[in-house]
Amino acid sequence: MNISVKDCVIFGKQNGEQTLGRVLGIGPKRVKIEQLEARGSHPIGTIWRVDPKLIWGKIPTALNTETTPPAHTAKVPTPKSSWGIWDRVWFEHQGHRYEGAVTKINRKTVQVRVDGNFWRVSPDLLRSLDDGAR
């Protein structure tokens, strides 16, 4: 896989938890990655040194932070507020609460990454994890 500094990638063990991260550096044996979502007891911002074999996917260029405007400008207007890339959110579906991070903003929906899966959710159904409601 061809990756470069500032690329957003999915990394982790094949049968374990896979996490969203940003490449900070590429060495001869390891890739330095900043964690962009919570992972067990490791908070957002944790730095990992990862074997390149444990990098499973590169986020499409449209989501890559190098080409995407900063989160404060990449907003989708909603009747109540706006969401930005990497905002931590939650929503309910069929009586279950799902928590994740905004990874893409579409015209009518917001893509949220939840436990390695991607959900398209109406922005009106999202709530912030930071303050409980938006």
pLDDT tens track, the chain, 134 positions? 688 898 889 888 877 778 889 999 999 999 999 988 877 788 888 899 999 988 888 876 545 444 444 444 444 444 334 788 888 999 999 999 999 999 988 888 899 999 989 999 998 899 998 765 44
Tell me what percent of the chain is helix, strand and coil, each rounded to the nearest 5: 5, 45, 50
The pLDDT value recorded for residue 60 is 65
Q: Where are the beta strands (DSSP E) in 16-128?
A: 19-26, 31-35, 47-50, 55-58, 76-77, 82-83, 88-93, 96-105, 110-114, 117-121, 127-128
The pLDDT value recorded for residue 29 is 92
Neighbours of 127 (CB within 10 A): 16
- Give the model confidence (pLDDT) of 29-61 as tens digits: 999 999 888 777 888 888 999 999 888 888 765
* Residues contacting residue 1 through CB under 8 Å, at least 6 positions apart: 52, 55, 58
The pLDDT value recorded for residue 73 is 43
Phi/psi at 62 (5° precision): -60, -25
